[in-house]
Chain A
């Protein structure tokens, strides 16, 4: 109980409130602008929050994370374009509702369902993080190595891209993690005489390059035809009727349940949860025929599910040290720089921090809900902002933000290199997420594997039930999508008549 009290009273500092407000405003804005994901925004913000105190910085990053999940519904509903991947399922019913002249009700219902989902997810964090960390505290080197492999393969498996390329990206990330000092002997490796690399690849430069600059470069090289419909500006009635509010309850409960479960799975985020919850809510609905044509139930299920994943993601990140989604991968990097190592030991060293983070998320949710309930004509106008303004703002923030971390021009040059690498990876179908995860968790994986091999020999990975279980789950995460796609291709071939081949 004293940890809860210490964690929440730490937020009484007025600067934390200011950080929260800034984070919520930034998060809502970046969420509302298609093309800027929450991961990209948190990566950019990581550049300037590192100069703040850890709790202040975490307040900015977490509130961007939370508020982006509210802001991204606006373009999903008004322009049929998800602001971030987490709101993909919001377009299924949000845009049809807006076209029916019910954009205001859709926006309000979405905000209410999102807030319910987010708060339920945070409850998972408060209740499940400590027990999960207690289990993880018993992990030895073999189990910790298996946990890293599990996190990495889950990110590859759920990313939806080519599994083989995801694994190669993960291996390349682990390799980048070997740059600098050896975690056991202290020998320098792959620094090529550059002292800037002796403590490893600067993480912020890498993530800003891979997530920020690469995305922008990709937008620059593409022949992009702007076929997006003009934003719907007539929002209509704002507040749902009593019947409509009652209609929201069941799908919100379904969405929250799905999101809470999906969120705990490492690397699975709001996009996956939203689509699953939408399908489940349609199955449970008395009016499944309305789904996809403007159903408030469909919108509520998708939105509550994607926000409910946040609590689960933070739980996995803090308790196991394995990121719950790509935003959490960036957050882990920032926390490590602040001297906070996410994982079971965090609950021993700074138990109050977990409650501080949960309280920050609750406050950010309430602030973002308040902002979403105000008629956001300004946000609607933002949707019409020309792309070149955004590009210039993002590039300048990427450069200055990266420089700000260590006042190093080397970091800026490295960021540019990672931007080009990220662009090439993107064009050739290699996901950036596993590479970032490999870079963060590489030293942890290497040191634990080598320790396990030295202490107990090669058999240790096959004798520990937890390690074996995690490795089997990892194999499942990699093999299942491959088996599914192979079986789908076989079925498709069987359907095509012989003479048509």
Chain B
């Protein structure tokens, strides 16, 4: 992670130097602040790396499981497909199908979880955002 932070800082400095700006020769122009922050990220990444070499962090978070990663991948894929489906179909059926897929992926089973809940939640969302707040869904 320390390497990623430092690389991000380095890329920032490079991108900042490549910025096209109207302020010519200004010492604290539009490039200056991002360059300072990029430098801070590089320094922060190096510091995190040095500290990690001396004293590895105790792992406080719970472990990531392969099953969990699979579920995450499935949820992200469902969100992306939902976004695509929303372009072609009406909000209500697409959202109901999306919610049913989410329920299935996260462990919901049975008619209540896969039919009743998705349909009623989609209707509530449509009522709240589409009808009450007049968001063009």
Contacts and interface: CB of A to CB of B under 8 A. Distances in A.
Given A164-B47, A389-B117, A428-B1, A189 B103 contact: no
B57 A224 contact: no
Sorted nearest first, the 8 A-B pairs with minimum C-beta distance are A221-B68, A388-B106, A168-B44, A223-B65, A182-B30, A404-B135, A171-B40, A175-B37
Nearest to B32: A450
A449 B36 CA distance: 12
Contacts of A184: 30
A439 to B, nearest CB: 12
Contacts of A429: 57, 60-61
Interface residues of A, number: 57
B83 A413 contact: yes
B134 A392 contact: no
Contact of A220 (B1, B71, B79): B71
B27 to A, nearest CB: 8
Nearest to A447: B33
Given A164-B47, A164-B48, A171-B40, A426 B61 contact: yes
24 contacts: A48-B128, A168-B45, A178-B34, A185-B29, A187-B19, A190-B34, A222-B62, A387-B107, A389-B113, A389-B117, A392-B99, A392-B103, A392-B117, A396-B95, A396-B98, A396-B122, A400-B129, A407-B135, A409-B86, A416-B80, A420-B76, A446-B33, A449-B33, A453-B28
Interface in A163-196: 164-165, 167-168, 171-172, 174-175, 178, 182, 184-187, 189-190
A98 to B, nearest CB: 26
Given A174-B37, A223-B62, A427-B64, A162 B57 contact: yes
Contacts of A416: 76, 79-80
Contacts of A404: 129, 133, 135
A339 to B, nearest CB: 19
A403 B83 CA distance: 11
Given A221-B72, A400-B137, A454-B28, A391 B99 contact: no
Contacts of B12: 175
Contact of B102 (A48, A185, A391, A450): A391
Interface in B1-21: 1, 5, 8, 12, 15-16, 19-21
A335 interface: no
Interface in B58-102: 60-65, 67-69, 71-72, 75-76, 79-80, 82-83, 86-87, 95, 98-99, 102
